[in-house]
Chain A
Amino acid sequence: MSEITVFSARDVITMNASRPHATHVAVRDGRILGAGSLEDMHQWGPFTLNDDFADKTLVPGFVEGHAHAMEGGIWDFPYIGFEDRWDPSGRRWEGAQSLEAAIAALTAAEARLDDAETPLFAWGFDPIYFGEARMNAAQLDTVSTTRPIIVLHSNGHLLNVNSRLMDMAGITADTNVYGVLKDDSGKPTGELMEMAAKYMAYRQTGNPFFGGIKTPSLLRYAESAVNCGVTTATDLFASFNEESLAAYAEASKTPGYALRLMPALNTIEQSIDEGIALAKRALQDNNDRLHHRLCKVMTDGSIQGFTARLKWPGYHNGKPNGLWNLDPNTLGELVLGYHKAGLHLHIHTNGDEASELMLDAVEAAQLAYPRPDHRHTLQHCQMADASQFRRMAKLGVCVNLFANHIYYWGDQHAAITMGPDRANRMDAAGTAQREGVPYAIHSDAPVTPMAPLFTAWCAVNRQTRTGIVLGPEERISAEDALYAITLGAAYTLHMDHLVGSIEPGKFADFAVLEDSPLEVDPEAIRDIGVWGTISGGTPHKAATRTG
């Protein structure tokens, strides 16, 4: 018989209602034998006692229900966002809190490139915090005049480029195309938006962020997960081409891989029949660390990009309604097809009109092909009102709310996109709780950093960056937030029989914390240190933070 390891802890928060707390947990063959007191552990026979975490809190390994494995690979390019971030290796990328700081960071990144022509890409730029000040080509020209530079904004809608790139692309004062922004004298500023202008930029350099996922990114993604206590994570918008599928399989079988990976097929990349066949074929690759079955549908755009589809009265600042990603009828057909095939849908809906459309689609699919326990999940679902949550409850639909948005863009939502009233109900975990909708909360990494304790803090406190509490009635308790990042998220992924709580038979996946999220001041949940994780019974220490 295999050896038994018993981990001791100051507290084991199990999320198992029949045994909520313990001091010890026994593990064999990567699975949990049981939790309890030290005496309880003897019932399994001889064991090795591991006291390394005797002063720490063990909780179920966190489940990130909406993130992207690109979080692993994007660090090949310099980050110039507003707040400090840490890459998977623990290196700190200092936040650029002014335009000057962003340029300085680019200059430092430029110095690390060898020849003079290699394009320089940077990501995460967010001038929303700089008032009226905008980045322009002249500033980027101080970084380099010989290589093209492309700076991606964190909202995904804008690029900044330097003069070298505009020369290559032939963008001049005479370019009269929507999306090429110009200054008062009629010169292009180097800020580009909309498809055509982005196309012209990427035509010069190629788009390094395009294409399928590769094994090194998936390996680094797992490192990033360990750093924040995550043991199960999605890659929630995946190309199921041969290269990507091989990478998922390879990464998941890499010895010491510390993550249970859940890719979600991008359903619009192929016809419905082909997509269903692809998703089913991928099931053959499943193993303890790879769980195919999820399928992603993109319904609308983003709220801060004004591309989310809203119900009346629309955008607070009067901007026209957003964009459907596909014809609404086609979206309904997608839902019906994948539902009928027994697959598990994760449906991006930001605006409330998008949520409504998809609730209609699930209802139609349920009437045509009733499926108990389908657990189709609305992802983001930031604008849903109480009536929509009631429908979710009736239809068996789960929700995964983008709680981090409240902190990062809550002030802008209250002032610009939604107005104060509707901003209060954004990412309404409190309503989900009251109406009995199974829910999770998420980061959408790399859009915001993957860190479930921070996400929990957002849902518990609902504080914006400026410190306003947005919709205090939608706050949830620390217990509920901990549930949402463990068993709640596992439920939305149909993984609650395998992960999400510390119960006999489940994978021995734990987050190892310096403090208990249930004991610290709710405002301090985000500050709790993460030692690392235990995945399948094997401890993985978080990278030491440097820089």
Chain B
Amino acid sequence: MSDAPIDFTVIGGFLGSGKTSLVNRLLAAAGNTRFAVLVNDFGALNIDETLIRHQDGRIMQLANGCICCSLAGGLVDTMVELMRYRDAIDHILIEASGVSYPSRIMDFARIDPDLRPGLTLVLIDAANLQNHSTDIRLAETITAQMESADLFVLTKTDIASADMAAWTRDWVATHAPDAPIIESRPDDASLVALITDPPPAPDPTSAGTHHHHLADHTDLIGALHAHFASRAMTATKPVDEDAFTAFANRYSKHLLRGKGTLHFHRRSAIWQQAGRLVHLEDADLDIDTASQIVMISVDDLSEAAAALQAMGFQDVANVPVR
């Protein structure tokens, strides 16, 4: 039985914003990550039948180790059912219905120690947000959804007129001034790279035994940089815990992801940050291990890097570490 918590990601957004395309791409690119995706409609996933190993009503097992679950029975009972298979799952991905509130869904990961809160992505259909947000039946729901996103992805900007796309960007920025916005296809590899935990750098001393392929890894990092900046840093001397915690909180809105192993003066810890949630948990690390972290953001990371340099960190050449 694995004690490592299961990553938990929420993909929100209205009908037609591209959630299903993103889920499909993630399932195809899962690699060694065993995703459990919870979706409203199996049919829309368009999964090659030859890849379905087993289907039983609301649950479908795929040959690559992933699981698809129908949310028809409701999120509460579906999650209760799913967590009976927790040892077979690395990462849970919820495709939130267009009228649900993603933050209420992320609460599942905030309350259950077996889950680790990850990112809340909200996809916005740039061609239709104006219609939706001015529809009295939808306006409140859309506005409420704006409150909980860590990242907005404007999709269909190729279909939307330039004016419409600009209007959409302004509207999102007005309603969610803190959250970053990117324009992207919903199934862009950079989103896959952001959601999928980038694999660790290959350790040259154990080459051949590592189960990740260098090519995959390089591809993922390359894909990530299409939309995001990342920075890997290391510190050989113990880090001041208070200073680091202050840093993590200060940059919590700025960093989409942050993670790493930290060597403080009195303890070692694993840092996990997704969206605005800062998470530091005790770790049992070798006393000589250097602190190693990686950060991902939409924006330039030089200011954050400067803050870390003041704490004794220095850049590692573009290599993220676990």
Q: Which residues of A contact B (CB under 8 A)?
A: 169-171, 175-180, 194-200, 202-203, 206-207, 210, 239, 241, 266, 268-271, 273-274, 309, 320-321, 323-330, 353, 357
Given contacts A202-B77, A327-B97, A328-B138, contact A170 B113 (CB under 8 A): yes
Task: Give the residues from 100 to 123 in chain B that come closer than 8 angstroms, CB to CB, to chain A.
Answer: 103-105, 107-108, 110-113
A178 proximity list for chain B (CB < 8 A):
103-104, 107
Task: Give B70-92 as 1s and 0s: 1 = Cβ < 8 Å from A's Cβ atoms.
Answer: 10110111011001000000000
A169 proximity list for chain B (CB < 8 A):
111
Q: Which of A175, A199, A207 has the most CB of B within 10 A?
A: A199
State in angstroms the CA–CA spacing of A177 and B117 once bound together: 12
Given contacts A268-B72, A271-B41, A328-B137, contact A177 B111 (CB under 8 A): yes
In the complex, whether B99 has a CB less than 8 A from a CB of chain A is yes
A270 proximity list for chain B (CB < 8 A):
70, 72
- Chain A min CB distance to B249 (Å): 15
A327 contacts B111, CB within 8 Å?
no
Q: Which residues of B contact A (CB under 8 A)?
A: 14-15, 41-44, 57, 70, 72-73, 75-77, 79-80, 83, 97-99, 103-105, 107-108, 110-113, 135, 137-138, 140-141, 144
B70 proximity list for chain A (CB < 8 A):
269-270
Task: Name the residue of chain A whose CB is nearest to the CB of B140.
Answer: A321
- Of the candidates B72, B80, B99, B113, the one whose C-beta lies within 8 Å of that of A324 is B99
- Chain B min CB distance to A203 (Å): 5
Q: Which of A203, A320, A325 has the most CB of B within 10 A?
A: A203
B104 contacts A196, CB within 8 Å?
yes
11 residue pairs of the A-B complex, CB under 8 angstroms, read A171-B111, A177-B111, A194-B104, A195-B75, A195-B76, A196-B110, A199-B108, A207-B77, A271-B42, A273-B43, A321-B140
State in angstroms the CA–CA spacing of A177 and B44 once bound together: 32
B72 proximity list for chain A (CB < 8 A):
266, 268-270
- Chain A min CB distance to B148 (Å): 11
A196 proximity list for chain B (CB < 8 A):
104-105, 107-108, 110-112
A198 proximity list for chain B (CB < 8 A):
76
Task: Name the residue of chain B whose CB is nearest to the CB of A179.
Answer: B107
A177 contacts B107, CB within 8 Å?
yes
- Chain B min CB distance to A165 (Å): 13
- Of the candidates B76, B98, B140, the one whose C-beta lies within 8 Å of that of A327 is B98
B83 contacts A203, CB within 8 Å?
yes
- Of the candidates B80, B99, B111, the one whose C-beta lies within 8 Å of that of A202 is B80
State in angstroms the CA–CA spacing of A85 and B219 once bound together: 65
B15 contacts A330, CB within 8 Å?
yes
- Chain B min CB distance to A308 (Å): 13
A202 contacts B97, CB within 8 Å?
no
